């Protein structure tokens, strides 16, 4: 491996990994605190997140153009365009997230009821869902700012901001869930309020940081973005693709949570633990994927097709080294990890085997994520969408339904189906990137 490129990739990737992992660390903290507070409260949060997580992940994809267009402009030496990308992206993220809020508030509880969830899960989960939905605009603003800084190869500030947010989130969740400092014990609803408050703080801090950058004038941060709706099209096109892909994938995974809910409270809570661990590991893939997209985007801005290919494969190879280590640790310590999230012995027994299967899932899951980022940064927007639709809707959803409800596998069947779908997605996206690496770049 060219070690200079590896160092650059790692310099970009690890702060992004820590920043993205910080988002899921909030979820892990909430899961652990609620799992020890009451199993049913964890189930209420899990069923609410089955609706809000696809909306959050989908909006994160729709605004991914902020990262790719910032990287391309910086690679081409057009720094003044970077600030325009951020301002446009911020406005766009607010609009997209408000659509998500309306969907959650109007349709969320109706969807839970229509899919056959119990009355208690629907009512209690619906209350948590409505609180969680209020945080979507805050996360849209934060993610746009983080993408902007990462596209400039400045991933450390979002990492530091997210680390600070996690400390405050831990304190707020403990206080709101258990009733510390004279507050009432609110359980899952308290966790949702704590996280919403923290996400509002995240948005405020990153906007202030970007506004006060020493080189804000060169970057055009404080200048009007200008231009017509058509002028924003390249940024939106990247987002349409990424948003559609991530919405498809996250919606499919949320359907799996709803499917686990049909198996009972303990299976749902156990699946929630495995999903949180899978999601946290996936943040490593998002970090390497974002770093790979930045390197590919900079090379694209210079019209260096050979470097585009090298950057894509380098990101994947380095990610494999890290994810295989994670998989081994997860397989070896799955029961100990389950104990971190639960005091209920039946919940620990149910969660540990699922974590063993997650150890197998994360390798192809990482592969497809890194390759999808590389393809979008290279300008191939819609093939990842089609691949994710086939893999996660046409393969994962029906296979999970069959293995969970029509065999003795139960929730293990859901994770087994995830492994098969991820292998299919990873194989095709690798083949696609290999094919395009042999062709000239198209603007």
* Tokens encoding 4: 């200079």
The lowest-confidence range among 57-66, 94-103, 113-122, 317-326 is 113-122
CB distance 72 to 300 below 8 Å: yes
Q: Read off the tokens for 54.
A: 């696809």
Half-sphere exposure of 211 (CA within 13 A, CB side): 8
Distances (CA, A) of 9 to 156, 241, 257, 383: 13, 24, 34, 25
Residue 325 has a pLDDT of 95
pLDDT in tens, 9-22: 888 778 877 777 77
Q: What is the DSSP letter of 53?
A: H
Name the residue ranges covered by the structural domains of the chain.
Answer: 3-436
User: How far is residue 286's CA from residue 416's CA, in Å, rounded to a whole number?
Assistant: 22
Residues 273, 339: Cα–Cα separation, whole Å? 10
Mind listing the pLDDT tens digit for each residue in 222-267?
Answer: 888 777 777 777 778 777 777 777 777 777 877 888 788 888 888 8
Mean pLDDT of the chain: 86
Upper half-sphere CA count for residue 290 (Cβ side, 13 Å): 35
- Do 44 and 120 form a contact (C-beta atoms < 8 A)? no
- Tell me, what's the pLDDT at 442? 60
Q: Residue 443: is its pLDDT beyond 60?
A: no
The candidate with the shortest Cα–Cα distance to 24, out of 330, 321, 291, 284, is 284
Instruction: For residues 410 and 140, give the distance between their C-alpha atoms in angstroms, rounded to a whole number.
Output: 35
Q: Which SS3 state, helix, strand or coil, does residue 116 take?
A: coil
* Cβ-count burial 124-161 (b if 16+ within 10 Å, e if not): bbbebbbbbbbbbbbbbbbbbbbbbbbbbbebbbbbeb
How far apart (Å, rounded) are the C-alpha atoms in residues 119 and 188? 17
Question: How many Cβ atoms sit within 10 Å of the Cβ of residue 389?
Answer: 17
In this structure, of 27-41, 87-101, 139-153, 172-186, the range with the lowest mean pLDDT score is 27-41
Tokens of 410: 């139960």
pLDDT of residue 25: 76
């Amino acid at each position: 491996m060219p070690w200079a490129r590896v160092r650059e990739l790692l310099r970009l990737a690890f702060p992004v990994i820590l920043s993205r992992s910080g988002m899921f660390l909030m979820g892990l903290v909430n899961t652990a605190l609620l799992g020890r507070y009451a199993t049913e409260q964890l189930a209420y949060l899990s069923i609410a997140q089955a609706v809000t997580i696809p909306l959050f992940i989908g909006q994160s994809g729709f605004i991914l153009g902020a990262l790719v267009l910032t990287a391309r402009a910086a690679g081409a030496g057009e720094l003044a365009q970077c600030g325009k990308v951020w301002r446009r992206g911020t406005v766009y993220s607010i609009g997209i997230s408000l659509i998500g809020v309306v969907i959650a508030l109007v349709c969320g509880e109706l969807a839970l009821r229509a899919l056959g969830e119990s009355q208690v899960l629907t009512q209690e989960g619906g209350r948590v869902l409505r609180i969680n939905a209020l945080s979507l605009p805050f996360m849209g603003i934060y993610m746009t700012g983080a993408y902007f800084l990462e596209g400039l190869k400045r991933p450390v500030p979002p990492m530091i901001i997210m680390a600070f947010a996690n400390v405050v989130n831990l304190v707020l969740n403990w206080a709101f869930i258990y009733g510390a400092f004279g507050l009432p014990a609110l359980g899952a609803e308290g966790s949702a309020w704590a996280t919403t408050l923290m996400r509002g703080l995240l948005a405020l801090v990153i906007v202030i940081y970007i506004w006060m950058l020493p080189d804000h004038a060169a970057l055009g941060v404080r200048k009007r973005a200008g231009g017509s709706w058509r002028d924003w099209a390249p940024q939106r096109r990247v987002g349409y693709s990424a948003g559609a892909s991530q919405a498809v994938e996250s919606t499919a995974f949320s359907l799996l949570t709803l499917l686990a809910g049909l198996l009972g409270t303990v299976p749902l809570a156990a699946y929630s633990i495995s999903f949180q661990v899978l999601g946290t590991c996936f943040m490593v893939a998002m970090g390497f994927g974002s770093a790979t997209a930045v390197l590919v985007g900079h090379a694209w801005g210079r019209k260096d097709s050979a470097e585009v290919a090298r950057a894509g494969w380098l990101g994947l190879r380095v990610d494999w080294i890290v994810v295989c280590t994670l998989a081994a640790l997860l397989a070896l310590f799955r029961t100990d990890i389950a104990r971190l999230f639960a005091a209920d012995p039946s919940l620990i027994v149910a969660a540990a085997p699922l974590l063993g299967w997650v150890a197998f899932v994360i390798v192809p899951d990482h592969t497809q994520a890194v390759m999808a980022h590389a393809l979008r940064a290279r300008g191939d927007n819609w093939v990842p969408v089609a691949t994710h639709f086939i893999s996660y809707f046409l393969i994962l959803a029906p296979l999970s339904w069959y293995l969970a409800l029509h065999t003795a596998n139960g929730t293990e069947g859901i994770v087994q189906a995830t492994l098969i779908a991820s292998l299919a997605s990873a194989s095709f996206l690798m083949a696609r990137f290999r094919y395009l690496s042999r062709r000239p770049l198209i603007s």
